[in-house]
Amino acid sequence: MSLRSRLAVVVTLGLIPPLAITAYNTFAWREFLERQSNQEALSSAHLISAELSQLIEGSRHLMLTIVKHPAVPAREEECTAYFKSVIADLPIYREVALIDRDAKFHCSTIPIPPALDVRDRIYFTEPLRTGRLTIGTLTTGRVTGERSIHISIPYKSPDGRFDGVVALVLNSDKIGEDFAARRWQIYHRIMVVDREGSLVFTIPSAADADTVAFAKQIFDVGHDGAERAFIIKDARGSEQIIGFVPLEDSPNGMFIAVAIDRELVLTEFNFTARRSAVFGVLALLFAVAGILGASDALIRRPMLGMVRIARRRQAGDLTAQFPRLRSSTELGELSEALRAMSLTIDDLFAQKEFLLRELQHRVMNSLQILSSLLGMQGREAVDPAARTELARARERVMAMSAVYKYLYGAEVSEKVDFGELLRAICAESEKSYSGESRMITCEAVPLIVTGGQAASLAVLVNELMTNALKHAYPEGEPGPILVRLLQNEEGMIELRVADHGAGFSGDIDLTRPVSLGLKVIVSTARQFGGTVSFIRLEPGTEFVVRFPADFGASPEPAAA
């Protein structure tokens, strides 16, 4: 991962906590709004419940008052006129009447057919059974055909028993109009239902099938429990927050529901949340873009500049120098430290080069002295065999000297192109034996080896060529020698030295060489995992030394 990417990750990780806190606060605010909406719906339902409770309580007092009139219920006409006068100025009431235990109407403000039987109505049966005020269900009058709700209380005879009920008929439409005339929140939907879930009235006024079904759905969810807030979906699929409250002091009478559109409540929140999310993402993107741009100019470019200088120096360009930056910064301190280190390395490298040249010079001088001593000793030797061995030893020393001469002249020591060195050895050998009319042809492919491998291979080649030069042709007779360095079809490295001379007269066991020259050849080949063989030509002999395909110096690292 690049430095810029690392910095971008650091900035991103640094921005995550505040963004997470913002997200947490946003959703906490959402929950707060929902709790507030639930409380608002319940509070509005409580307010309407209290208003209706006052209306019901006023109706109770009205019924208790009218039942105490002296004409009730004995003087039918007088009490009927009295009842009519009482509700004449109260438009929320449609009718009032007394109903005895036999379900017969008395003092009714409207004519009642004698055959009308109300013993199936809750407003008649329940007060006689419980002795308490009862709120009936929303019904359509069988006489008037109008929607209404009956409120009733039992009345007692002088002896203290329940003789019947006083029924007061509420005008549900008028009550709804009175409530609608008051100031409510425009996003509130108020619904009042009876004990069976029938819609008594709604604000805003609506009696369509969807509203009626929605009111029944609310009733089915909430009527079995105490007051509470919950969420349901309406016919359009919109979620509604419902505050559901039973009428005070009358849990089996009417229920009040206030619905608030959840999406409407959260509209401003959703807008703010989306805006905050967009701003947060933009802030994150701007921060990452800013850190990438700033890091490119302030960090990446200076760092890449130092990397380029380091690679140039690694490639051998010692003129490349690290830039001078302000030393008060970390990059300035790094550049100055690299600069000082490179100067120290330059000094050490120069000292190393000086010592290496001095060492190579001394080695070459020592080899020249040794070669001269061996030559002098050979000329002084009387025994022909001793003279021959001293001459071979001098030739080996000369081969080593040729390698060092090549390394010293080419200013290389660790990595050597043996193909090029092989051509130099062949040329040097041809000069050494020019008096014997020997022509040495050299063909070589590039092969990179180490300095130590080059020295050993040089001795091996010298032994092979010496054998060909000394033994292939009679003394004074001209003849060619072919030296080849190649890579065969199997990928192996082959060193071949061939002549067209007399060849070997007998068999040679290369696994147990007898002569010193063959011992040097075989042991050197084995040192590098190679093998030695020879081929009888017509005429002549060809020695073949094979090395593994991976023979040579190890490849440079990829970074170099």
Stretch (H or E) spanning 59: helix 3-66
**Which pLDDT score is estimated for 4?**
63
> Pairing between strand 479-487 and 438-444?
parallel
The pLDDT score that the predictor gives to residue 413 is 55
pLDDT per position as a tens digit, 34-93: 888 889 999 999 999 888 989 999 999 999 998 888 888 888 889 899 999 999 989 999
Strand-pair partners of 254: 194
Residue 141's Cβ-count burial label (10 Å; 0-12, 13-18, 19+) is middle
Backbone angles phi, psi at 270, to 5 degrees: -60, -40
Instruction: Return the pLDDT at 410.
Output: 55
- Tokens found for residue 489: 């079809």
Q: Please give the class, per CATH, of domain 412-554.
A: alpha beta
Give, rounded to a whole angstrom, the gap between the first and last alpha carbons of the chain.
21
Contact partners, residue 534, CB within 8 Å, separation at least 6: 504, 508, 510, 541, 542, 543, 544
pLDDT for position 11: 74
Angle at 169 between CA 168 and CA 175, to 5 degrees: 120
Which of 56, 39, 52 is CA-nearest to residue 258?
A: 39
Side-chain half-sphere exposure of 460, counting CA atoms within 13 A: 31
Strands 541-547 and 493-499: antiparallel
Backbone region of residue 495 per phi and psi (left: phi > 0; alpha: psi in -120 to 50; beta: other values):
beta
Cα 341 to Cα 256: distance, rounded to the nearest angstrom: 88
Q: Bridge-partner residues for 439, per DSSP? A: 480
- pLDDT at position 382: 80
Q: What is the pLDDT along the chain (560 residues), one digit of tens a residue?
A: 566 676 777 777 777 888 788 778 878 888 888 888 889 999 999 999 888 989 999 999 999 998 888 888 888 889 899 999 999 989 999 999 999 988 899 999 999 888 888 888 989 999 988 888 999 888 888 888 888 899 999 988 777 788 899 999 999 889 888 988 888 888 889 999 998 889 999 988 887 888 899 989 988 888 887 888 999 998 888 889 999 998 865 556 789 999 998 888 888 777 777 887 788 788 878 877 777 777 777 777 777 787 888 888 777 777 777 777 776 677 777 777 887 887 888 788 778 777 877 777 787 788 788 878 888 888 888 888 788 778 777 777 776 776 677 666 655 556 788 888 888 888 877 776 655 556 888 999 999 888 788 888 888 888 888 888 777 777 667 788 899 999 988 889 999 999 888 777 667 777 777 777 788 888 988 988 999 988 888 888 889 999 998 887 665 443 32
CB atoms within 10 A of CB 554: 9
Structure tokens at 12: 């991103």
Q: What is the pLDDT of residues 500-517, one digit of tens each?
A: 887 776 677 777 777 777
Q: Which two tokens stand for residue 55?
A: 């209306």
Beta strand residue intervals within 81-173, DSSP E: 93-100, 105-106, 134-140, 147-156, 162-170
Task: Please give the pLDDT value at position 476.
Answer: 60
- Which letter does DSSP use for residue 300 in this model? I
Whole-number pLDDT of residue 358:
79
| E-strand stretches of 353-500 | 415-417, 438-444, 448-450, 479-487, 493-499
